[in-house]
């Protein structure tokens, strides 16, 4: 099988069928129709073998993750995902691996109505770059910038679970049974908060997704908004699985510094609290907890019952 047969067999019809795809896989570029009154929201993220997922990580999980990390960026912008492109570099033509990868990728693409409309396939060390494209009604995209002193800080889901899952997969944390399975699943198959991000349009004053670590990503939001943030350690939501396997102190470290959560951290003015409460009470809404507030100044502080706690630094590929 050559490059073009491979593309035809595995990538020609992946994900949703959409009427706004004028031209998909097969030409020199895709042609896509952006609805009138909407803005295009674009992002891209790369996964490198051994860096973003451990060796031996299942192909289907890699496929899912490669799209999930991108849909999470769209979710943080309040965008509705529509299209994706996939640049895939493979060390060898392994049909089982390709089948698994596409199955995982397509499962998430179908769940969110995303069509794979193009890409590139090359030989080299295992690596993939996905680009995700979505839309928002003009002027409604959520941003990192916009939080103000007095706003409340919320996080969706159970931060720290995914980082603990990776620690289990790589032997830095031990545990077994259902707790282990639940945490590993959070790392293997993150669920981007797409529907919730869309519902936060017009409600959140600022929003970011958690990829580098809750404290670090909240720090990015605060810096972009020109404000500071205070997190109350006892308000951090810790899942029972995380608490059980890691213990309270280490669980809190995973939650604040772990990364890979792909949850949303966002701020709302206090007056929007009832609106948010209605939103989170709705069917299908993720768990959502207030963990602190925005203050004048800069930086993130974490306050516990016995004073300030150290704030973990987030992931940085090029930190000296
Ligand atoms: P070109 O040489 O003009 O860049 P390619 O031969 O790389 O085109 O790709 C042929 C077609 O297949 C293009 O439409 C491209 O978008 C698509 N394609 C290539 N690789 C992938 C992939 N991994 N996933 C989805 N589409 C792909
Ligand atoms: Mg090409």
Of 238, 74, 97, which Cα lies nearest the Cα of 155? 238
Q: For ligand 1, is residue 88 a contact (CB within 6 Å)?
A: yes
Q: For ligand 1, is residue 86 a contact (CB within 6 Å)?
A: yes
Say what the pLDDT of residue 312 is. Answer: 83
Say what the pLDDT of residue 90 is. Answer: 97
Question: For atom 16 of ligand 1, which residue has the closest CA?
Answer: 118
- Whether 38 shows a pLDDT value over 90: the answer reads yes
Nearest ligand 1 atom, CA 28: 3
- Residue 268: band (very low, low, confident or very high) from pLDDT cuts 50, 70, 90: very high
**CA 87 – ligand 2 centroid, Å:** 9
Q: Which ligand is the nearest neighbour of the Cα of 30? A: 1
- Whether 295 shows a pLDDT value over 90: the answer reads yes
What percent of the chain has pLDDT above 70? 100
Per-residue pLDDT tens digits for 72-119: 999 999 999 999 999 999 999 999 999 999 999 999 999 999 999 999
Best mutation site among 27, 104, 121 for ligand 1 pocket (most ligand atoms within 8 Å of CB): 121
The C-alpha atoms of residue 197 and residue 266 are separated, in whole angstroms, by 10
Say what the pLDDT of residue 319 is. Answer: 75
Question: For atom 13 of ligand 1, which residue has the closest CA?
Answer: 26
Average pLDDT estimate for 204-218: 97
- Whether 28 shows a pLDDT value over 90: the answer reads yes
Nearest ligand 1 atom, CA 121: 20
Nearest ligand 1 atom, CA 24: 14
Question: For atom 5 of ligand 1, which residue has the closest CA?
Answer: 120
For the whole model, what pTM was predicted? 0.96
Q: For ligand 1, is residue 234 a contact (CB within 6 Å)?
A: no
Say what the pLDDT of residue 1 is. Answer: 84
Say what the pLDDT of residue 320 is. Answer: 64
CB 186, CB 238: distance < 8 Å: no
- Residue 283: band (very low, low, confident or very high) from pLDDT cuts 50, 70, 90: confident
Question: For atom 20 of ligand 1, which residue has the closest CA?
Answer: 120
CB 153, CB 174: distance < 8 Å: no
Residues 6+ away with beta carbon under 8 Å from 225: 144, 145, 146, 147, 148, 206, 267, 294
SS (H, E, C) the chain: CCHHHHHHHHHCCCECCCCCEEECECECCCEECCCCCEEEEEEEEEEEECCCECCCCCHHHHHHHHHHHHHHHHHHCCCEEEEEEEEEEECCCCHHHHHHHHHHHHHHHHHCCCEEEEEEEEECCCEEEEEEEEEEECCCCCCCCCCCCCCEEEEECCCCHHHHHHHHHCCCCCCCHHHHHHHHHHHHCCCCCHHHHHHCCCCCCEEEECCCCHHHHHHHHHHHHCCEEEEEHHHCCCCHHHHHHHCHHHHHHHHHHCCCCCCEEEEECHHHHHHHHHHHHCCCCCCEEEEEEEECCCEEEEEECCEEECCCCCCCCCCC
Best mutation site among 1, 25, 46, 114 for ligand 1 pocket (most ligand atoms within 8 Å of CB): 25
Q: Which ligand is the nearest neighbour of the Cα of 3? A: 1
Nearest ligand 1 atom, CA 118: 16
Say what the pLDDT of residue 69 is. Answer: 98
- Please state, rounded to an integer, the average pLDDT across all residues of the chain: 96
- Domains delineated in the chain: 3-137 (3.30.1330.10), 152-309 (3.90.650.10)
Residues 6+ away with beta carbon under 8 Å from 314: 212, 213, 215, 216, 217, 219, 257, 259
């Amino acid at each position: 099988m050559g490059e073009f047969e491979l593309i035809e067999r595995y990538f020609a019809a992946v994900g949703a069928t959409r009427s706004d795809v004028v031209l998909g896989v097969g030409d020199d570029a895709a042609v896509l129709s952006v609805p009138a009154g909407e803005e295009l929201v674009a992002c891209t993220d790369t996964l490198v073998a051994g860096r973003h997922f451990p060796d031996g990580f299942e192909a289907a999980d890699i496929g899912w993750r490669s799209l999930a990390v991108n849909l999470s960026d769209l979710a943080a912008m309040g965008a509705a995902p529509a299209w994706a492109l996939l640049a895939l570099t493979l060390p060898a033509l392994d049909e089982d691996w390709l089948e698994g990868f596409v199955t995982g990728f397509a499962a998430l693409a179908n769940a969110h109505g995303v069509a794979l409309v193009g890409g590139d396939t090359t030989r080299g060390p295992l690596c993939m770059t996905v680009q995700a494209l979505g839309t928002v009604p003009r002027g409604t995209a959520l941003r990192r910038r916009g939080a103000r002193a007095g706003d409340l800080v919320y996080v969706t889901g159970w931060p720290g679970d995914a980082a603990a899952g990776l620690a289990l997969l790589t032997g830095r944390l031990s545990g077994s049974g259902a707790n282990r399975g639940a945490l590993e699943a959070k790392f293997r198959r993150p669920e981007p908060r797409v529907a919730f991000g869309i519902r936060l349009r017009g409600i959140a004053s600022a929003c970011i997704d958690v990829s580098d670590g809750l404290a670090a990503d909240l720090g990015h939001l605060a810096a972009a908004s020109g404000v500071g943030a205070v997190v109350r350690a006892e308000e951090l939501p810790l899942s029972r699985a995380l608490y059980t396997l890691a213990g309270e102190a280490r669980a809190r470290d995973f939650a604040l510094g772990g990364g890979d959560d792909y949850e949303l951290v966002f701020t709302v003015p206090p007056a929007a609290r009832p609106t948010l409460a209605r939103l989170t009470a709705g069917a299908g809404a993720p768990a959502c907890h207030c963990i602190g507030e925005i203050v004048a100044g800069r930086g993130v502080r974490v306050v516990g019952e016995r004073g300030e706690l150290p704030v973990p630094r987030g992931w940085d590929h090029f930190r000296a």
